Amino acid sequence: MPALSYTPIDGIVKKYEELRNGFKAGKLKSIEYRKYQLLQLAYMMKENEGRIAEALKEDLGRPEIESRFIDINPSVGDVLTTYNHVEKWTKPEGTAFDITWFLMKPTIYKEPKGTVLVICPFNYPFYLSIGPIASALAAGCTVMLKPSEATPASSALLEELIAKYLDSDLVTVVNGGIPETTKVLELRWDHILYTGSGRVGKIVAAAAAKHLTPVTLELGGKSPVFIDPACDLELTAQRLYWGKVLNAGQTCVAPDYVLVPRTFQATLVDALKKKHEQFYPDGPKTKDAYARLVNSTALNRLKGYLDNTKGKIVVGGEIDLEDRYLSPTIVSDVPFGDALLQEEIFGPILPIVPVENVDEALRYVNEHEHPLALYAFTQDPKYKEKILTNTQSGSIVFNEQVIQPATEGLPFGGIGASGSGYHTGKFGFDIFTHLRASIDSPGIVDRVLAFRFPPYTAKKLKA
Ligand code: NAD
């Protein structure tokens, strides 16, 4: 793997100017050229699958199947969806027929915003970079990518491959940490798509506000899971546990905590324990069984939660600092106010919170920030309706886990503290597109609208 070297701070403006000039040069005015770059992006992912999986293993200890399923394949899928639709999405649109306006040929042109910035977190280094780059190119924008410094192998590989497969005046990578990102954020962008924590989201939004730059914020939060005793228990345990252990819990839409009626807690915990045994017959620490934490800071933060929880650790809790390993961990009997219910966990700990009933669960969720995802396991349509109509969240998912962002045709975005704006597919294209309103008014219009011109006579007022 190439080593990660940070972009020299005094070289950032040069890269930015190259993108600005790339936009002005007009190569991306051609839809064919956009498609050529999109195809290159898809080839980049396909031809380098092995190296990408290796980089993800180095950074996150990910089993290869996971990397293919959650990072590599959905990236290629996103690029191909965009490739297949770019003509349709960019086509100018008329408006619904209206007798007053139709003569003026009202038209919406889909124009690129210009030169845009994409800032990514560490947890899905490819999926969260490649889709947004595809959206920006499809919209006709030139784009700077700032990957996370926490995944050095993946970020170095992204820089190497993007330079090899795409035009450097259309797409470029700046690598680095806070000083480099701060420099990037001083520049004037035509749109910023930021994915990461709410804490940094506020820094990005404040920097964008200085230039009145529009921003899309894809943030995180604590995504709750409602359990109805009238659920399919086997399916619930299987999907819920998978949603938590995938990428060692480092998924923005991972189930953060589980709200279960007190009388059903033991049944659920038993089913989850059984899943643990089935998923890891030789233990989760064995080769290619399960991912690792991104770094020791993340692991120590999670260790702190476990040291301070008042719940009971019923599965896991084993830590190996050197290996950045925390085994999948289930904590039952977690009381409201517990250490596990403060910040987004973003790790492989599943707190089970016993409640009296669904109303208490709803009250608790509604007293907190709107989550990025909200899950419910139930076979009862009335229960689903109750959860749907009494909560707010980025997405609401019944009887499934974490795959909604990759579901073709659905928007991916948060609400309130979990973010603003949407991406993936057409929604991604839309954020980098300016809807330029146009009319082209023939002289005949003045026969109908003659009254608009002065003098404003009494006769005209009555007409
Ligand atoms: P992070 O906010 O620490 O880092 C994200 C990016 O911001 C990185 O590129 C980093 O270099 C940059 N950054 C960090 N500090 C900065 C600063 N002071 N000034 C300017 N830039 C700075 O996030 P992370 O730890 O990489 O990712 C975890 C978070 O991302 C979780 O909250 C998770 O829920 C969220 N997330 C959200 C989505 C989504 O689509 N909504 C997807 C993945 C992750």
Percent share of the chain, pLDDT over 70: 100
Domain positions in the chain are 9-219+426-435, 224-409
* Residue 443 reports pLDDT greater than 90: yes
Residue 361, pLDDT above cutoff 80:
yes
pLDDT at 94 over 80: yes
Q: What is the pLDDT of residue 449?
A: 87
Instruction: Please answer whether residues 331 and 350 qualify as being in contact, where contact means their C-beta atoms are separated by less than 8 angstroms.
Output: yes
Which one of 3.40.605.10, 1.10.645.10, 3.30.70.360, 3.30.930.10 gives the CATH number of domain 9-219+426-435?
Answer: 3.40.605.10
Q: Indicate if ligand 1 lies below 6 Å from the C-beta of 366.
A: no
Ligand 1 test: best mutation among 4, 75, 174, 195, most atoms within 8 Å of CB?
195
Neighbours of 29 (CB within 10 A): 12
Ligand 1, pocket-test mutation among 70, 151, 217, 252, most atoms within 8 A of CB: 252
What tens digit of pLDDT does each residue of 400-436 get?
A: 999 999 999 999 999 999 999 999 999 999 999 999 9
Answer whether the bond into residue 8 is a cis peptide, omega within 30°: no
What is the model's pLDDT at position 3?
85
pLDDT tens-digit series, residues 8-61: 999 999 999 999 999 999 999 999 999 999 999 999 999 999 999 999 999 999
> How far, in Å, is the centroid of ligand 1 from the Cα of 151?
12
Q: For residue 84, how far is its CA from the centre of ligand 1 (angstroms)? A: 30
Q: Identical fold at 9-219+426-435 and 224-409?
A: no
With cut-offs at 50, 70 and 90, classify the pLDDT of residue 100. Answer: confident
Residue 463 clears pLDDT 90, i.e. is over it? no
CATH number of 224-409: 3.40.309.10
- Give catalytic status of residue 93 as yes or no: no
Instruction: Provide mean pLDDT across the span 194-211.
Output: 98
- Nearest residue by C-alpha to atom 6 in ligand 1: 121
Report pLDDT for 192.
98
Instruction: Note the pLDDT tens digit of each residue in 218-256.
Output: 999 999 999 999 999 999 999 999 999 999 999 999 999
pLDDT at 448: 84
ipTM of the complex: 0.97
Catalytic annotation present for 149: no
Q: Name the closest-CA residue to atom 16, ligand 1.
A: 178
Ligand 1 atom 39 nearest Cα: 218
Q: Answer yes or no: is pLDDT of 161 > 80.
A: yes
The pTM of this model reads 0.96
d(CA 241, CA 203): 34
